[in-house]
Amino acid sequence: MELKLNKTLSKNAVDFINDDLLEDLLKQPHPDRHRVDDIIAKSMAKAPLQLDETAALLLADDPGAVEKIFEAARELKRTVYGNRIVLFAPLYIGSYCINDCGYCAFKRSNPDAQRRTLSPEDIEFQVKALENHGHKRLILVFGEHPKYDAEFIAKTVRQVYDIKEGRGEIRRVNINAAPLDHEGFRIVKAAGIGTYQIFQETYHHATYAKYHPKETMKGDFLWRLDGLSRAFECGADDMGIGALFGLYDWRYEVLGLVNHSLHLQEKYRVGPHTISFPRLRPAHGVTFDDRYMVSDDDFKRLIAILRLSVPYTGMILTARENPEIRRTVMEFGVSQIDAGSRIELGGYTEVGDAQVMEKEQFSLGDTRSLDEVMRELMQMGFVPSFCTACYRLGRTGEQFMEFAIPGWIQNYCTPNALSTLTEYLVDYASPETRKVGIKLVADEVAKIPDEKIRTTLEKYLDRIRTSDDRDFYF
């Protein structure tokens, strides 16, 4: 069974990943402290790092240099993103797949995977359950299969936007799905999607071939690598990239992600909106080579180095990771997390607290409720946000870059975060979480330096607390 795609590559199609170059960069002498300091200074000026500069940070492994990298990443994260953490939830729509990826429970050769595509009624139940918990941002996840073509994805997106439950609504739908052809990207763009994620999984050609059989759709390295270029040519300018850490040397994959970011910025003047860096997790019916598994210490380093290398980009940490790791790395790079996540098909209404491995793509490390995660974030001094204003006001692509690189985006994001947080506290929070949140919101509003914005925000928050009015944003 094949997907019906017009496999025409983009005008800029090129395999820009040079294995020898990236490997050679990692064989250079370790940098001295002056070199590390110079690279950090460039990053703190919010300038994207070049490949050789990122490689130098990857090679700087003495404790003093590593601590400098962590300190700089913390400061840069505060400068660009403040203390906000954006929250979302994944919603798996279908687990049929024609690929045979060696690390995935949904691979076609896995006889134990329970296959399913959510019906429109199933989707309505799932979305209403998510709205009843307070979610406003979703990422829809699709296997690569003829069932899930561009028309199906677009129809699903439109349905999700139309579902309302009480005061709940989904204001932004992002997509994680197979690379599309040009017409496919036009179709999903017209449905009003937010970010379209395409993970290369691994940028190392031999490793890519090892895990993705050549006769499968995903076995075409260049078709996948070129996916975001085709999207840009069709007006979809909000993209997410990612690598699955544990398939190959983590340092190489960091260079691959930076290489990809630089390519997009050079060709389209727009880098990726988000970068994801999931680690391999156990999956039902799957065994894999564990020699490249990433330790917790190296995981922390790669996040900090990515933050310094691509300072304008949102960084996503998923519930694959356990709560302890999530707490630790939030401070020096991460700007988005999922919470209250279930990745079984129908998992938000049909399963209990225990994970059902036969229905999952992989196992989760953090299954806490959204309310628990929200409360902990606020106790740590973070402002949880469900803001979607940039998408809806057209601050995407090149315009987003113009705001994000100098850090101006904070002028909008902080008040918008407080508005959406107040909605959550009034409509969905437990009494304990509401108590923590009320104090946090008051403290954060008082810190807003622009008197006009602060006064307007206070009026918005008062209307949220005293009426059914919602969805205020700057």
The reported pLDDT for the residue numbered 401 is 58
Predicted confidence at residue 402, as pLDDT, reads 60
Mean pLDDT of the chain: 93
Residue 155: pLDDT over 70: yes
In this prediction, residue 359 carries a pLDDT of 79
Name the CATH topology of 77-368.
TIM Barrel (3.20.20)
Identify the weakest region by mean pLDDT among 48-57, 187-196, 397-406.
Answer: 397-406
Domain with CATH 3.20.20.70 in the chain: 77-368
Quick: pLDDT tens for 437-462: 999 999 999 999 999 999 999 999 99
For residue 106, report the phi and psi dihedrals to the nearest 5 degrees: -85, 5
Question: pLDDT-derived band of residue 122, with 50, 70 and 90 as boundaries?
Answer: very high
232: Cβ contacts below 8 Å, ≥ 6 apart: 10, 239, 264, 267, 268, 270
Displacement of CA 319 from its chain's centroid (Å): 11
Q: What confidence tier does 281 reach under pLDDT thresholds 50, 70, 90?
A: very high
pLDDT interval class at 395 (50, 70, 90): low
What pLDDT is recorded for position 181? 97
State pTM to two decimals: 0.94
Total Cβ atoms within 10 A of residue 180: 26
Q: How far is CA 3 from CA 66, 195, 216, 401, 460, in A?
A: 46, 22, 10, 34, 48
pLDDT for 81 equals: 85
Question: How do beta strands 274-276 and 137-142 pair?
Answer: unpaired
Under the banding of pLDDT at 50, 70 and 90, the label for residue 98 is very high
